[in-house]
Structure 1
Amino acid sequence: MATTPDAADSRSSRSRRRRILAPLALAQFICSFAGSNMTVMIQDISEDLDTTVQGVQTAITAFLLVMAALMIPGGILSDRYGRKRCLIVGLAIYGVGALLSAAAPGLGVLILGNSILEGIGTALLIPPVYILTTLLFTEVASRARAFGAIMAMAGIGAATGPLLGGFITSAVSWRAAFVFQAVVVVIVILLSRSLHDPLAPDPERDFDTVGAILSASGLVLVVLGILAADDNGWLMAALLLVGALVLAGFFRWVHARERAGAQPLLPTELFRDRTSNLGLITQHTQWLMLMGVSFVVAAYLQVVRGYSAIGTGVIFTASTLGLLISSLGAERFAKRHEQRTLIMTGFGVTVAGLGVLLAMAHGSPRAWVFTPGLLLIGLGVGLMLTPSVNVVQSSFPEDLQGEISGLSRSVSNLGSSVGTAIAGTILVTDPGIGPYAAALVVLAVIGLGGLGAAALLPHTPVPTHHG
């Protein structure tokens, strides 16, 4: 039977979309994987490098924080020097950081490679992923599918990090997990060669250096304040206060730049849309809960229960499975339910999972008791990742997609770093059952706050289907 021209064009179009999407989705996967896979290596790294659980927590939090602090400037640099170029440069820096981490003789070099170089690389490569997706997928339906695939890979990367990282650590070494990241980065670079950047770089674009320094400094100080909570209450209060003042100074600077007719790091109109602001709160909270739970459970299993890296990773298979199931169904759910409903349901299921995790795992020696709670948490987070991104991205026109992409990723990564910081701060003095329970309760309360923000989102019509 002869192939019609329309069928051939359709197949060619699908093939082209897959070629575009493959490197972008894989780049997002490896960055999310890097954010969570170290949680199952806590014990191995601390013993090998002669450091403490708190030292490894500092490296994990610093990686997430560097990403959050530099993500917005990374988006601006993408417009200035070209999205494809920044993607490749970011991947290269990330790969060097991964190899340096693999060879680290001590905690300092691990922080340089993993926290700083991988963090900088991620901040450079992630904004182009989202901007190129917006520019290359011009139809609403195809763009939604593309964002759905990328967010699914983000969630899957974060959820499979403990399992895959645990397997590699137990089978070879924790150092091999960083070599694995470098190998994936090389594959992404090779796949990215065929990408086309539809917009020419704008080297004349003004870069708001003062704004970048103020925003990054404010975020760093706030997270450092959370990390200082277990050591010194006065230091925590001072850092949080100074951080808040620096962020307030950032917004004053932005207003002054706009009044003077100069281009600020972020236009203030990004913060005037109520729907987008609520969506950003839900994104921040989702990643805070996911990374917070990952750190709490992984630290408890390894330090208190004495589980190996692979044993811990196997237990996390439940959350990976839940996230896979709900992420793969994201497009079908979006056709039947409004985004607000999906996000609210996701928070409800995630908070319920925290409750089940706390109730069943309390004092029981059996590993399976962690499964139901982690499964629910994976299902809940996977259910709301894509609609939260869609809510934010669709709140602004084409010409602001670069800025809102950078802000969206920064807010999500800040949630990851804050979640790890909060969980680690509660656990670090004594990772026993009391602090473990307290950390889960705190995360559940924060989740209820996210549910409240989701409830304030406006109702949106559900697409109607005939047939």
Structure 2
Amino acid sequence: MTKTAAPGPGVASVAGAVVLPLALAQFICSFAGSNMNVAITTIADDLDTPVSSIQTSITLFTLTMAALMIPGSKLTDIWGRKFCFIAGLLVYGAGALIATFAQGIGLLIVGYSVLQGIGSALLIPPIYILVTVLFPDLSTRAKYFGVVSGAAGIGSAAGPLIGGLVTSAISWRAAFVLQVLVVAAIALLARRIVDPPLPAERPHFDLLGAVLSALGLFFVVFGVLQSGTYGWGSSREDFTIGDVVLIPAGGISPVWILAAIGVVFLGWFVWHLRRREAAGRAPLVSLGLFRNRTSNLGLTTQTLQWLVLQGSFFVISVFLQQVRGYSAIETGLMLLPATVGVLATSAIAGRMAKRHSPRRLIRGGFGLTVIGLGVLLALARETSAVWTFAPGLFLMGAGVGIMLTASVNLVQSSSPEEVQGDISGVSRSVSNLGSSLGVAIAGSVLVGAATPGGTPFATALVVVGGFAVIGFVVALLIPRAAKDRRSATP
């Protein structure tokens, strides 16, 4: 039975010490996933590499987070939440510093895609776990979930604008310097975080489970990413490793081969978890988490909403830069209506949560997003006026802002306190998986086309809109009686 504890006198002081660095950390990680979009052409020219290589680095960043988020969450039960949070900040900052001085795509991928991705996987799970354990009052907890998940949406939405301003005024490298400075400030603020003590008996780390889950997610998303080069049906060109042609042009696209390898690894991962649980050993994540229908539907909506947000931002950014010839700052300003939409609805997320169920908010958010994409397709053209982009982008941003907090609350609320670490890792993993798939799927339509405008642009947005429609349908399946059923006792 759910207990709602009364807010203690120290809640305000705890909030001031904890929520600010946690929200800033979530903001900067989300910012890193979207600010690169407006500088794609600039970075590609500077590093003398194709646009597709920059798309790969963006996808690998979110993919690294998705693949390592569950292991990172488990480490919080072993090393402590504050320790993982600080360690993640250090790794993230080191990656941003390396990316700042990258002279080629290889070093950019090491710093940005790999190290910043690993750092994010370490620091993001503690954000949601600390909010859970430090705020026993359910309404207060929901409020601060709204703050940190709103920071995630704002970071993604404001990333193109801030990144565009910095890139145009200084350099794309300055955006990474900015991240180093913000991470340093967060580390200083985080010293005031008090991490509740962990149980005396801590679980052993499931290394094989971590490797299997990471490989499974990697091959699935990496396979989808190859669609831009090889297509979805028959392969457009030879698929080679070294000098060996594995699949000749005209054969089955390697997309399906790579994705199948990923599915095999994920199947092996599930089998491993079953065996480990049967032997009485702690698995990387308990399969019992996935027996909760409400939580499963919430995780699905999280995946889809981030797929839609990042996929649409990538497509629109590429279109504006390569078809309309916009600079980074012009692209960021064009995406400003979406940022305003996310800000407007995130600001009232707490009040909306008191009046409406998560089911209704998620359903309304997807519905508004679908309308926004439809308006964008109806009005925006290669030579249309600037204002034709604004209505659709605003509605899309508002729709995403409405459902971000609702999905997080629904998922976290459907699981008991003792598995909050696991569900937090799974929740963040599927969100980043959605971001990876969004860039990979929608971007493959544009990158695979000779000119990413006209029909390819419209097709990519229709594909993204299709996933938003699926999200709306999934939201209809969420039980009407879905409530916050967590125990209030940390």
- Which residues of structure 1 form unaligned runs of 5+? 1-8
Note the 1:154-303 alignment, pairs <5 A: 154-200=152-198, 204-232=202-230, 233-303=252-322
Change (3 A) 1:161 1:202: farther
Task: Please give the TM-score of this superposition, normalised by the length of structure 2.
Answer: 0.91
Query: Alignment partner for residue 366 of structure 1, among 347, 370, 385?
Result: 385
- Detail structure 1 runs of 4+ shifted over 6 Å in the superposition: none
Distance 2:218 2:306 in 1: 17
Query: Which structure shows the higher helix fraction?
Result: 1
Query: Which letter does structure 2 place at the counterpart of 1:306?
Result: G
Match of 1:412 in 2: 431
Distance 1:388 1:364 in 2: 37
CA shift for structure 1 position 462:
8.8
Match of 1:125 in 2: 123
Change (3 A) 1:251 1:13: closer
Distance 1:273 1:105 in 2: 48
Residues 1:443 and 2:443 aligned together: no
Change (3 A) 1:236 1:141: same
Task: Please give the TM-score of this superposition, normalised by the length of structure 1.
Answer: 0.95
Spell out, residue by residue over 1:9-36, the C-alpha distance to the aligned partner (whole angstroms, 9 max, x if none). Answer: 9886423312211001100000000000
Secondary structure in structure 2 of the residue aligned to 1:374: helix
Residues 1:459 and 2:457 aligned together: no
Query: Which letter does structure 1 place at the counterpart of 2:182?
Result: V
Query: Which letter does structure 1 place at the counterpart of 2:444?
Result: T
Note the 1:47-86 alignment, pairs <5 A: 47-86=45-84
Distance 2:265 2:14 in 1: 45
Distance 2:367 2:148 in 1: 24
Query: Alignment partner for residue 440 of structure 2, among 421, 443, 460?
Result: 421
Distance 1:13 1:270 in 2: 30
Distance 2:81 2:13 in 1: 22
Percent identity among equivalent residues?
Answer: 54
Secondary structure in structure 2 of the residue aligned to 1:193: helix
Contact 2:413 2:483 in 1 (8 A): no
Secondary structure in structure 2 of the residue aligned to 1:266: coil
Distance 1:446 1:94 in 2: 31
Contact 2:11 2:135 in 1 (8 A): no
Contact 2:382 2:453 in 1 (8 A): no
Note the 1:131-146 alignment, pairs <5 A: 131-146=129-144
Contact 1:82 1:201 in 2 (8 A): no
Contact 1:159 1:323 in 2 (8 A): yes
Distance 1:184 1:142 in 2: 27
- Which residues of structure 2 form unaligned runs of 5+? 1-6, 231-251, 485-490
Spell out, residue by residue over 1:26-63, the C-alpha distance to the aligned partner (whole angstroms, 9 max, x if none). Answer: 00000000000000000110010001110100000000
Change (3 A) 1:406 1:172: same
CA shift for structure 1 position 237:
1.0
Residues 1:433 and 2:457 aligned together: no
Contact 1:358 1:440 in 2 (8 A): yes
Secondary structure in structure 2 of the residue aligned to 1:231: helix
Change (3 A) 1:369 1:265: same
Match of 2:420 in 1: 401
Contact 2:294 2:482 in 1 (8 A): no
Distance 1:432 1:288 in 2: 21
Spell out, residue by residue over 1:209-239, the C-alpha distance to the aligned partner (whole angstroms, 9 max, x if none). Answer: 1111111000000001101113335211101
Contact 2:227 2:448 in 1 (8 A): no
Query: Which letter does structure 1 place at the counterpart of 2:254?
Result: L
Contact 1:357 1:370 in 2 (8 A): yes
Query: Which letter does structure 2 place at the counterpart of 1:22?
Result: L
Distance 2:67 2:132 in 1: 23
Contact 1:427 1:439 in 2 (8 A): yes
Distance 1:138 1:169 in 2: 43
Secondary structure in structure 2 of the residue aligned to 1:263: coil
Contact 1:80 1:201 in 2 (8 A): no
Secondary structure in structure 1 of the residue aligned to 2:479: coil
Change (3 A) 1:202 1:58: farther
